[in-house]
Chains A and B, each alone.
Chain A
Amino acid sequence: DTAVSQTPKYLVTQMGNDKSIKCEQNLGHDTMYWYKQDSKKFLKIMFSYNNKELIINETVPNRFSPKSPDKAHLNLHINSLELGDSAVYFCASSQDYGGFTFGSGTRLTVV
């Protein structure tokens, strides 16, 4: 049973489209995150939700909108995709100050 699962694994889309990435965790963790890993492999936090409440919102274009229907799910919707949005997006979850568990990543390519 995968602890943190995200779909799809690969996403290729044209500029201007709207797309969503889904994430689910079965670890019972209270906090979930979206991270973006760019071409230089730098992992940068985008959003964090604790029990469905947004607690971290880094400097991210408002084309990116997270949604947490319950504490086990955190989805990411991206409007009007741009070339610069191409990256690998990782979902993660954690409990208290413990280590994070990451999903397998979604490689987004905007053409």
Chain B
Amino acid sequence: GDSVTQMEGPVTLSEEAFLTINCTYTATGYPSLFWYVQYPGEGLQLLLKATKADDKGSNKGFEATYRKETTSFHLEKGSVQVSDSAVYFCALSKGSARQLTFGSGTQLTVLP
């Protein structure tokens, strides 16, 4: 079946550091890929998405590129802020299906 693997956390960075959270997937066909963010005590919010190979999703300074050859969708940000502290989930869906398959999540803490 389909699966998503994320780098294990927790990840702790200093403010203004560069962030990479690795995400790889296993799926047949052509999935859409997503990054969701969960701030403490809140629900999940869509951060960015990409629906086909080589697409780049971007939002709030975060970026991720859909790499079909490496089945990856790594999340990057050039300069993190304390307010970016949250749990980040990589996920996929296929075709018109609206079910998401999630990775296990990566806890990010940014220190001032």
Question: Are A and B interaction partners?
Answer: no
Using a CB–CB cutoff of 8 Å, the interface residues on chain A facing chain B are none
